[in-house]
């Protein structure tokens, strides 16, 4: 159970110079405000903001965010005003609490409301992404106590967490948060599958843990012998929901899942990452086509690491993930890593929030047609791929996007006039499914009037769909004005 002493100890361990008095003051303020309230579990309400703050502290976030986490429910659930919070804890804390309060009204009730709620979330994130980080921590604790709620409410909160919160955490590069939100939701959305996958994972891990530990010791010894300083070397068990989705793709054959337990090697710098990869390949034979360099080509959410899959002891297939400590913290905490104690005050790269800001600015266009909004929802929450222009610029697209989607992502006119594509120096049709790492050149015809409505059958992004429909609508309007209206006018003339 979360306590103020545990919270302060976590904060002090990470940052001995943190203002513990202010954190304790925020706790006492929250405890007084919530003193007569109970949770559905019967526990004192203060347990919830404490647990939220504890999660934020374990993410190594600064005290301003942790204090906002302690106070995040005060404005909504008690008579305390935002003005009082600002007076006692500063405008920054009050602003974050106000943002969390607004997000608290979001409920998962049908496509129209769902999309409007997404819009509110993106606007809140564009203003201050710390708000969504606090909301993640708040939701994480709520998911651990779902059994005390009515069944329908349990399902709604779990579904909302799985379909809205977890994918946004993924887009923000917060791998650990995404995995926890998914697993806690999975338990209530598909309880039978949850039990089945848990048993499969446990059985396979128990069968392989002895060999894996032996491999870990042997590999670490070779790395040290090669003069590579190992900061950390540990196994990471795959999250259950991620395993469930992978099993579905492989007809539930656990033998085709090579990363149930991944060996995670943390070293000091990028040079050591590549040196460690060489040592591992000298020690264990790599599987063909299973080496992934996410350092040279990071994932769209910023994830960086080297991955390789090898034949280990007794032929056991094992994945290694090699990265620096900074890359590891970015992979675990994503955008939240920019508020770590050791990087306090550092600016967030604009590209990290570009997609959030773009979506927030699209609010008027978004509300025009529900079908397009549904498409936008899919854009946001699908797995992403990164495709390169011939000049080396990276275009971030949803999985299974086509050259037409790529063309519209560059410019509307490129999309409207595209007639073909050259992928990795070979000609392909416009409905070809793209893969991460493809280098794509769009072939255009300047004389082409506009896109084909047939493209709607295969495009993946809402941007492409919207531009194609918009052109079709303009063409129809133009045809109507030049053909139908003059004819009607002629008929009316005596």
Annotated active-site positions, please?
Answer: 76-77
DSSP secondary structure letter of residue 258: S
DSSP secondary structure letter of residue 484: I
From 323, 352, 350, select the one nearest 335 (Cα to Cα). 352
The rounded Cα 124 to chain-centroid distance in angstroms is: 16
The rounded Cα 32 to chain-centroid distance in angstroms is: 36
From 468, 344, 476, 459, select the one nearest 406 (Cα to Cα). 459
Question: How many Cβ atoms sit within 10 Å of the Cβ of residue 390?
Answer: 11
d(CA 18, CA 23): 9
Residues 80 and 115: beta-carbon distance below 8 Å: no
d(CA 483, CA 466): 25
Residues 325 and 266: beta-carbon distance below 8 Å: yes
Whose tokens are 């950390």? That residue is: 232
Whose tokens are 């009515």? That residue is: 150
Burial, 213: exposed, middle or buried (Cβ in 10 Å; 0-12, 13-18, 19+)? exposed
Locate all alpha helices (DSSP H) within 230-290, ordered by sequence. 240-249, 270-283
């Amino acid at each position: 159970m979360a306590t103020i002493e545990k919270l302060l100890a976590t904060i002090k361990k990470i940052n001995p110079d943190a203002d513990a008095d202010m954190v304790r003051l925020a706790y006492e303020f929250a405890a007084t405000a919530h003193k007569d309230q109970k949770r559905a579990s019967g526990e004192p309400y203060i347990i919830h903001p404490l647990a939220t703050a504890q999660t934020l502290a374990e993410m190594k976030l600064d005290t301003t965010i942790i204090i906002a986490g302690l106070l995040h429910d005060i404005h909504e659930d008690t008579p305390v005003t935002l003005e009082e919070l600002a007076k006692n804890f500063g405008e920054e804390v009050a602003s974050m609490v106000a943002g969390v309060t607004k997000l608290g009204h979001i409920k998962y009730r049908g496509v129209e409301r769902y999309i409007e709620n997404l819009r509110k979330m993106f606007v809140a994130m564009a203003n201050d992404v710390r708000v969504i980080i606090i909301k993640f921590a708040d939701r994480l604790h709520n998911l651990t106590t779902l059994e005390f709620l009515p069944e329908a409410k349990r399902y709604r909160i779990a579904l909302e967490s799985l379909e809205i919160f977890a994918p946004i955490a993924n887009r923000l590069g917060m791998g650990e948060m995404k995995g926890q939100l998914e697993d806690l939701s999975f338990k209530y959305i598909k309880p039978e599958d949850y039990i089945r996958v848990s048993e499969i994972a446990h059985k396979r891990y128990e069968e392989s843990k002895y060999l894996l530990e032996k491999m870990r010791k042997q590999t670490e010894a070779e790395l040290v012998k090669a003069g590579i300083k190992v900061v950390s070397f540990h196994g990471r068990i795959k999250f259950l929901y991620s395993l469930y989705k992978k099993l579905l793709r492989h007809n539930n054959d656990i033998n085709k899942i090579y990363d149930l337990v991944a060996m995670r090697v943390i070293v000091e710098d990028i040079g050591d990452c590549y040196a460690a990869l060489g040592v591992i390949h000298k020690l264990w034979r790599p599987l063909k086509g299973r080496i992934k360099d996410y350092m040279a080509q990071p994932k769209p959410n910023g994830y960086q690491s080297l991955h390789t899959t090898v034949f280990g002891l007794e032929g056991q297939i094992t994945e290694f993930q090699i990265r620096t400590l900074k890359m590891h913290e970015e992979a675990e905490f994503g955008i939240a890593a920019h508020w770590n104690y050791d990087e306090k005050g550092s600016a967030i790269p604009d590209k990290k929030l570009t997609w959030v800001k773009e979506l927030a600015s699209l609010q008027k266009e978004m509300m025009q047609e529900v079908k397009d909004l549904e498409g936008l929802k899919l854009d946001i929450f699908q797995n992403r791929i990164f495709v390169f222009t011939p000049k080396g610029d990276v275009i971030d697209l949803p999985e299974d996007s086509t050259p037409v989607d790529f063309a519209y992502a560059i410019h509307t006119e490129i999309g409207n006039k595209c007639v073909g594509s050259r992928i990795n120096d070979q000609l392909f049709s416009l409905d070809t499914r793209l893969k991460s790492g493809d280098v794509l050149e769009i072939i255009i015809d300047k004389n082409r009037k506009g896109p084909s409505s047939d493209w709607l059958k295969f495009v993946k992004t809402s941007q492409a769909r919207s531009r194609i429909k918009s052109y079709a609508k303009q063409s129809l309007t133009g045809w109507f004005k030049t053909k139908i209206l003059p004819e009607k006018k002629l008929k009316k003339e005596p």
